[in-house]
A and B are shown apart, each in its own frame.
Chain A
Amino acid sequence: MKVAFASGKGGTGKTTVAVNIANILQQTGVDVQLLDCDVEEPNAHLFLLPRIDGSIPATVRIPEVAEEHCTGCGVCAEFCQYNAITVFKNTVIVFPELCHGCGVCAEFCPERIITESDRAIGVIEGGAAGGIGFLQGRLNVGEVLAPPLIRQVKEKVPAAAVTLVDCPPGTSCPVIEAVRDMDLVVLVSEPTPFGFYDLTLMAATLKTLAIPSGVVVNRCDIGNDELYLFCRREGLPILAEIPHDRRIAECYSRGALITEALPEYRELFAGLWKQVLTLLPSRPDREGRE
């Protein structure tokens, strides 16, 4: 089963919930792996301290033009929707960072003189943190396109009973790529106006994608009840409530796992996972029940 952790608003506790669930599951012997798909700012490794066993480049395909045969017809530039290729007389200029790797220029060049080569945009690193399988993407600084890297991280994922995906903040392309093909999305939010508003945006996105979701209310004792009313109205189940506790913030700040440093919270995360399991479409091969 595949479960993602998303939020809309940043800093609501996605990574905290994901890594602590991973920790609880490994301790109960569940075959679990965590994918950090926040490739712009991957942070899960700070909490899990995985041993990295291998690293491979993530690439996108970019055009290469055999200019000596170019007639300067300009079809490639005209067809490219991303302004990634321009033609001036018989000189073709490619802007690799704008290229989405769609292949249209190569496919439709009348002279068939455009080939494609791989350009690295980041790395995919894999390993393990104790009993937790670990995989993360890391976008090279200065690169624009996170979605292809996220796609490639997910393609590299080995089979496991439970796959947890830590998503980037926001609601657009990178998040959509991360939650694509998930069985369930856990929305981690807080009952403040910012948290609430961004949750409504993310909930609308998931509705469009037809992915079921539930909500974890972090810092549940600050703010107001708008988020709760919204969840009730939309039929979004509340999976768990995490209180506002300065010790949790301090724990997070130094990269510690709550389920290790504050054992009284273990029950809360175990209960959260139990709620997740009740929401998943039942499968005969389902594992990770307890």
Chain B
Amino acid sequence: MNRGASMTKEITILSGKGGSGKTTVTGALAALEKNAVLVDADVDAPDLHLLLQPRIRRSTIFYGSKKAKTIPADCIHCGLCVGACRFDAIAPGEPPEICIIFCEGCGMCYRICPVEAIEFAEARTGEWYVSDTAYGPMVHARLDPAQGNSGKLVSLVREEGRKIAAANQAEFILTDGPPGIGCPVIASLAGTGFVLIVTEPTLAGEHDLRRLAELLALFKIPAGLCLNKWDLNPEMAARMEAAGRDLGMHAVGRIRFDLTTVEAQLQGRTVMDYPASPAAADIEALWKNVLNLLRKNDSGG
């Protein structure tokens, strides 16, 4: 395979339903694949660093949006801003109080204020990092408490991951994605080459898988399906794999329920450090299947 920069393939790990093992699998794949850049795109609740123990090389403040702020000395208490805000972010008062958490950064109040008593400036909403890990470079981030606009931050960490991958001629970018199907998930999809869905054999997992599959179809992104803890409900696992096939996804792996994954977390390691464990064996097989599938897709087969 050509290992040139343009051949870097981004694999995004998603699930629909949260807590189904995305990060456990991403961490293990990072340990298995020697030439990858690692991206944690779950900026809301990032956990990959807990397994990969990154040493931060560079940290940068993230300005996610502008925020409005009253200048009390200039305010004439007309209340125009209170009525104009569509996000209920301004509490009436003298002067009115703009809640920075609910401020959507639209600028309505700033522009409608007749006496220029509202400031409107870029505000810090988080931080992002470029780090080294034992398994390769990693880009990750953290939103400040109660801050939003995570989609923008997801795009930013992925963009940085692509730059590093190009510079390093990395073969893969492994992106640990967020749960759900909304803003941060959509931000983690644009331009990715392949989605690895890690989900669990539950009614909720199945329901969420269908919605995620619908989303991937809109974006025309190929996907593989991995059932984590499949032995908790083998019947459901088989049913979901069949549903996945109907939705155009290949079944690429099954991971047994294995408390070694918890032990690995406790030690701050990936499950591949426990080679005798069922989970490690299953994830190794999973990665082989994914590589085979990608090769087949690349050769148009």
Contact = CB atoms under 8 A, between A and B. Distances in A.
Given A40-B181, A176-B146, A197-B47, A223 B111 contact: no
Contact of A107 (B108, B149, B233): B108
B259 interface: yes
B169 interface: no
A107 B17 contact: no
Contacts of B84: 103, 107
Contact of B236 (A104, A108, A224, A253): A253
Contacts of B215: 141-142
A107 B65 CA distance: 21
Contacts of A103: 84, 86, 106, 108
Interface of B: 15-20, 23, 43-45, 47, 50, 65-66, 84, 86-87, 101-102, 104-108, 111-112, 143, 145-151, 178-186, 200-204, 207-208, 211, 214-215, 218, 229, 232-233, 236, 259, 262, 265-266, 268
* Closest CB pairs A-B (n = 8): A10-B18, A11-B19, A102-B106, A170-B44, A173-B148, A40-B180, A255-B203, A204-B145
A107 B183 contact: no
Given A173-B149, A197-B47, A223-B262, A253 B232 contact: yes
A8 B43 CA distance: 11
A108 B202 CA distance: 50
Interface in A156-191: 168-174, 176, 180
A146 B178 CA distance: 14
Given A173-B148, A208-B145, A254-B236, A198 B47 contact: yes
Contact of A43 (B104, B146, B207): B207
A181 to B, nearest CB: 10
A104 B146 contact: no
Contacts of B143: 171-172
B266 A79 contact: no
A171 B202 CA distance: 24
B182 A145 contact: yes
A202 to B, nearest CB: 8
A40 B44 contact: no
10 contacts: A9-B19, A10-B18, A10-B179, A11-B18, A11-B20, A103-B106, A142-B218, A145-B183, A171-B146, A172-B148
A205 interface: yes
B233 to A, nearest CB: 4
Please tell me the size bucket of the interface on A. 35 or more
Interface of A: 8-12, 15, 38-41, 43, 46, 79, 81-82, 100-104, 107-108, 139, 141-147, 168-174, 176, 180, 192-194, 197-198, 201-202, 204-205, 207-209, 222-224, 246, 249-250, 252-255
Contact of A193 (B65, B181, B218, B268): B268
A185 B152 CA distance: 28
A115 to B, nearest CB: 15
Given A100-B104, A201-B45, A10 B266 contact: no
A142 B190 CA distance: 12
Contacts of A146: 180, 182-183
Given A168-B180, A172-B147, A249 B232 contact: yes
A169 B200 CA distance: 16
B106 A193 contact: no
Given A41-B16, A46-B207, A107-B84, A192 B108 contact: no
Given A8-B45, A9-B45, A253-B232, A170 B203 contact: no
Contacts of A223: 262, 265-266
Nearest to A142: B218
Contacts of A79: 107, 111
Contacts of B87: 102
A156 to B, nearest CB: 16
Contacts of A101: 86
Contact of B45 (A41, A145, A169, A180): A169
